[in-house]
Amino acid sequence: MPNPPVTFPALFTPANAVAFANADGTAQTVSATAPLPVAISGSVGTQAVSAASLPLPTGAATSANQTTTNSTLSAIAAQLPASLGAKTAAASLAVSLATDQANLEPAGAAIAGTSMPTGGTGLTGWLSAIYRSCSEGATVAGSVSSATNVISVSNNMYMGGSFHVTNAGTSCTITYEQSNDGTNWVTLPVTSAAVPNAAPASTSTATGIYSYVSSAAFVRARVSTYTSGAVSVVLSQKQAVAPSSGVSLAAGSSSIGSVSVSGTVNTGSGFTDSTAALAAAATFTGTGRANSAAQLAFFNATAFADQAGTLFIEQSLDTGATYQAVASQAVAANGAANLSVRMCGAVGTTTLYRVRYLNGATLQTTFRLSSSFSAS
């Protein structure tokens, strides 16, 4: 027998394999597609599995636990709506807000120093109160049958209004008052809206509308003297009102006193300087006149001629010793000219004004020249 060849270890390829014999005697290597066959000998029946023989984890789906779970799921299903979408309150699930969101906002709180108007509650009430304060006005009505307040309301956001006494009772007196703290009250002047020249009063005994203006925080109408019957008042408050306190002078003989005026007020003085026709190239010079009244501000001159010429206004600051022309205007034949200068200089005899007219090269037949002092 020949000897096998000697092979160095480095030439060996290690391999591991498990095989079994097929029915035809061939070798079958074990793989995922050809697993190792296992034969069970003896009789094998159904094996019972129980919590005792095969321990289950706590809460496993046993028949007892399944019954409890079904009951819980049924209770949840009963609380769910049959369909999605907006529902009425009765068909909706109740939801409780977190304690720090009771006002629909974290740490929400009402402002201090105010209270909800009568009849308002919650968010809707506050929105209504805001609307009432921002609206043009508010109307409040009251009726009493004793000596007490008929109406007592906040006047914030309002500048005035009117009390309409629709029923004055019998021999009853209503007193009108105002206050900033709601405790200490002072007189509130009111004026009858039906009398054009009515004087302000603090009380009324008859039906009618009584207007008032007030910047106080509170106003009220109070029955100060009660005899019998119902006293009814309707108050209308306004954000903007016309002043109504004081005496109206629209009619009657009411007055607010007398006014005395001394001296001359807004009067002027006029002069006819000349009506005599001028020869060719002749000059007429008027009289120098002083501004003796402080309220006069202008010196004026008017000229008319049937021939061309020139009109001047002259001023003297040295009591008439010398004059200077301060304004001039050409006059066309059968035309007129008007000049006016604002007066300057000291008021008195040292400052004088006068007119001067220079005729043209043709003899006049008609000439009119006048001047004046005026306030405007």
> Which CATH number goes with the domain that contains 277?
2.60.120.260
In a domain, 280, yes or no: yes
Domain's final residue, options 238, 259, 279: 238
Are 292 and 226 part of one and the same domain?
Answer: no
Reported as a pLDDT band with limits 50, 70 and 90, residue 370 is very high
In a domain, 212, yes or no: yes
Q: Judge whether residue 7 has pLDDT over 70.
A: no
**What is the predicted pLDDT for the residue at 241?**
76
Comparing 34 with 54, which gets the higher pLDDT?
34
pLDDT, the chain, mean: 82
Reported as a pLDDT band with limits 50, 70 and 90, residue 104 is low
Of 205, 223, 143, 217, give the one whose Cα is nearest residue 178: 217
The CATH number that applies at residue 212 is 2.60.120
Are 362 and 275 part of one and the same domain?
Answer: yes
Report residue 73 as tokens. Answer: 């799921």
- Owning domain of residue 320: 269-374
Domain's final residue, options 238, 255, 286: 238
What digits encode the pLDDT tens for the residues 241-292?
776 555 555 555 556 666 666 655 556 788 999 999 999 999 999 999 987 7
Q: Which of 30-39, 110-119, 251-260, 269-278 has the highest mean pLDDT?
A: 269-278
